[in-house]
C-alpha cells in the first residue's frame, strides 16, 4: 500500500524530466531563427507545418486523411524586405525601438518630422497653421502614450483614412505589441517605444518594404489515433505566430504558441507510445492562421474531416510557457462537468496552484468550435511571464514552470473524460 502511494506520488515528477526535454526540443525548434516567427514570409509557416508533420510521424501518429495537411488560403500584409528607420542620423532598432503597424504600406525616403500635441491632432486648421500648409512630404509624430479606447480609434482613423495628406505617422507607446493584419491600409505608420523618443526630431529616413500577399496557401496539420468509439476528442494548438519585420528581426513566439505545440506534441507522443487503444478517437491539430484572425480553425470547422456533432470535446492549448500561478480555462463556466473533472484531477495529483474560471471568449482557436455547438475549452497558463507579441518572447526567456503539471492534467483529463 505504501509502495503504491509512493509511486503515484512520484509519477508526475518522473515524467517531468522526460517530457520537458522533448517539449524544450519542440519549442527550441519552432522559436528558432530558422523558422522566422512562423508567419507568411520566407515560407515560415510551411517549414513549421512540415516539422510538425514529421514529429507526428516519428511519434507513430497517423494522418486522418491521405496526408497530415489541411490546406486553406489567407491574406497577409508581410514585411520581408528592407526595414530601416533613422531619426536624424541615429538608426533605430526594429522590434526594440519601434514596430511597424502591420497594416502599413511600403515607404522609402527622407521626410521632415512635425511633432503635434495630441490635443490638437484633429483640429486640421490649427495643425495646418502651425506647419504652414503642406504636409505631404512630412511625417507627423503624436505622443499617444496613455491614449486608449475611443481616442485611440481616432488616431487610427487619422492614420488610415488620411485625415491629413501626410507621408506617414509616428505614434508613441509604452508597449510594443504587434498584431498582424490581413489588409494593407495604404498608409505608413510607425509605433515608437517611449524611451526611444528623442527630445527633438527634425528628419526621419525610412525604408520599409511591405507586401500584401493574397490567397497565400497555408496549412493546418492533423494527426489521428483511432479509438474505441465513433466519437472524437481534439487536442489543438496554433503553430503560426507573427512572422518577421524585415530580414533580420522576427517574433519568436516561444510562449505564443510554440509552447502549446510542444504540449500537444508531448501528449501525441505519449498516446503514440502506449499500446492501449484510447476510448475516443484522438485528433491532434496544429492550426495555422490563428494570429491573423482564427482563420485556420474557422476553416477546419467549415471543412471538418468528420462530422462536428461527433466531437465529444475540444481542448485548445495556447500559451503554455508560464503556469507558476496555474491556468485559466475559457468556457469553464459553461461546461461545468468537464471543469469539475479538471479540478478533481488537479486535487488528486496536486499539479497546479489553481484552475481559474472564465466564460466564453473569442480569443483562440476553440471559438468557432464553440460557436458551432462543440463543447470546448481554451486553457492558458498564468504567472510571472509577461512577454507577449514582441521580440522578447524567446526560447531562452520562456520559463515553463507549470508545463509538467499541465501535461499531467491534460493527459489524465483525456483518459478520464469518458467516465463523466
Cell 487503444 sits on residue: 277
From CA 279, how far away is CA 264, in angstroms rounded? 18
> What three-state secondary structure class fits 232?
strand
The CB-of-291 to Zn ion minimum distance in angstroms stands at 7
The CB-of-238 to Zn ion minimum distance in angstroms stands at 6
Give the residue among 369, 232, 321 at the shortest CA–CA distance from 26.
321
Residue 181: how many other CB atoms lie within 10 Å: 19
The CB-of-256 to Zn ion minimum distance in angstroms stands at 4
The CB-of-363 to Zn ion minimum distance in angstroms stands at 8
Which residues, 6 or more positions from 350, have their beta carbon under 8 angstroms from its beta carbon?
none
- Which of 257, 316, 331, 376 lies at the binding interface for Zn ion (CB under 5 A)? 257
β partners of residue 283: 224, 234
- Which CB, 155 or 368, lies closer to Zn ion? 368
Choices 19-27, 118-126, 317-325, 348-356; region in contact with Zn ion by CB under 5 A: 317-325
- Which CB, 318 or 338, lies closer to Zn ion? 318
Query: x/- contact string, 276-315, with Zn ion (CB under 5 A)?
Result: ----------------------------------------
Give the residue among 396, 365, 398 at the shortest CA–CA distance from 384.
398
- 85-124: which residues touch Zn ion (CB under 5 A)? none
Q: Dihedral of the CA atoms 311, 313, 319, 324 (nearest 10)?
A: -160
- Which CB, 250 or 280, lies closer to Zn ion? 250
- Which CB, 270 or 287, lies closer to Zn ion? 287
The CB-of-169 to Zn ion minimum distance in angstroms stands at 28
Count of residues touching Zn ion (by CB under 5 A): 3
From CA 387, how far away is CA 169, in angstroms rounded? 26
Choices 47-55, 117-125, 173-181, 316-324; region in contact with Zn ion by CB under 5 A: 316-324
The CB-of-64 to Zn ion minimum distance in angstroms stands at 23
How long a stretch of residues is the chain? 420
Alpha helices, DSSP H only, in 230-277? 259-273
Q: Could you write out the DSSP letters of every residue in 102-135? A: TTPPPEEEEEEEEEE-GGGTT-HHHHHHHHTS--
Write the CA distances from 207 to 8, 81, 87, 251, integer angstroms: 60, 9, 12, 20
- Which CB, 244 or 259, lies closer to Zn ion? 259
- Which CB, 31 or 206, lies closer to Zn ion? 31
- Which of 240, 318, 338, 393 lies at the binding interface for Zn ion (CB under 5 A)? 318
The CB-of-4 to Zn ion minimum distance in angstroms stands at 40
- Which CB, 19 or 256, lies closer to Zn ion? 256
- 217-256: which residues touch Zn ion (CB under 5 A)? 256
Give the interface with Zn ion as residue ranges (CB under 5 A): 256-257, 318
Amino acid at each position: 500500500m505504501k509502495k503504491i502511494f509512493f509511486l503515484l506520488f512520484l509519477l508526475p515528477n518522473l515524467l517531468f524530466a522526460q517530457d520537458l526535454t522533448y517539449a524544450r526540443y519542440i519549442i527550441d525548434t519552432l522559436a528558432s531563427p530558422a523558422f522566422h516567427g512562423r508567419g507568411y514570409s520566407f515560407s515560415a509557416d510551411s517549414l513549421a507545418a512540415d516539422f510538425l508533420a514529421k514529429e507526428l510521424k516519428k511519434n507513430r501518429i497517423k494522418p486522418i486523411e491521405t496526408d497530415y495537411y489541411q490546406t486553406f488560403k489567407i491574406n497577409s500584409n508581410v514585411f520581408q524586405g528592407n526595414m530601416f528607420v533613422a531619426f536624424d542620423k541615429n538608426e533605430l532598432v526594429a522590434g526594440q525601438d519601434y514596430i511597424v503597424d502591420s497594416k502599413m504600406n511600403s515607404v522609402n525616403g527622407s521626410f521632415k518630422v512635425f511633432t503635434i500635441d495630441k490635443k490638437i491632432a484633429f483640429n486640421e486648421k490649427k495643425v495646418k497653421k502651425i506647419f504652414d500648409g503642406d504636409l505631404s512630404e512630412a511625417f507627423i509624430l503624436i505622443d499617444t502614450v496613455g491614449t486608449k479606447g475611443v481616442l485611440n480609434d481616432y488616431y487610427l482613423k487619422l492614420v488610415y483614412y488620411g485625415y491629413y495628406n501626410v507621408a506617414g505617422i509616428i505614434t508613441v507607446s509604452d508597449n510594443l505589441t504587434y498584431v498582424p493584419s490581413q489588409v494593407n491600409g495604404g498608409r505608413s505608420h510607425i509605433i515608437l517605444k517611449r524611451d526611444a523618443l528623442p527630445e527633438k526630431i527634425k528628419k526621419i529616413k525610412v525604408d520599409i518594404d511591405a507586401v500584401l500577399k493574397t490567397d497565400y496557401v497555408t496549412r493546418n496539420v492533423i494527426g489521428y489515433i483511432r479509438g474505441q468509439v465513433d466519437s472524437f476528442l481534439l487536442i489543438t494548438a496554433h503553430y503560426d505566430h507573427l512572422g518577421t519585420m524585415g530580414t533580420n528581426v522576427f517574433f519568436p513566439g516561444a510562449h505564443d504558441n510554440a509552447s502549446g505545440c510542444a504540449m500537444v506534441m508531448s501528449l501525441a507522443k505519449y498516446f503514440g507510445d502506449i499500446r492501449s487503444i484510447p476510448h475516443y478517437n484522438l485528433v491532434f491539430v496544429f492550426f495555422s492562421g490563428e494570429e491573423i484572425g482564427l482563420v485556420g480553425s474557422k476553416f477546419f470547422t467549415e471543412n471538418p474531416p468528420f462530422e462536428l456533432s461527433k466531437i465529444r470535446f475540444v481542448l485548445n492549448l495556447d500559451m503554455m510557457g508560464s503556469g507558476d500561478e496555474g491556468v485559466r480555462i475559457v468556457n469553464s463556466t459553461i461546461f461545468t462537468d468537464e471543469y469539475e473533472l479538471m479540478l478533481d484531477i488537479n486535487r488528486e495529483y496536486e499539479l497546479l496552484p489553481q484552475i481559474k474560471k472564465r466564460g466564453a471568449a473569442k480569443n483562440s482557436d476553440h471559438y468557432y468550435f464553440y460557436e458551432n455547438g462543440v463543447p470546448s475549452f481554451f486553457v492558458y497558463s498564468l504567472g510571472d511571464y509577461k512577454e507577449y507579441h514582441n521580440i522578447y518572447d524567446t526560447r531562452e526567456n520562456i520559463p515553463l514552470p507549470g508545463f509538467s503539471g499541465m501535461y499531467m492534467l491534460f493527459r489524465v483529463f483525456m483518459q478520464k473524460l469518458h467516465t463523466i
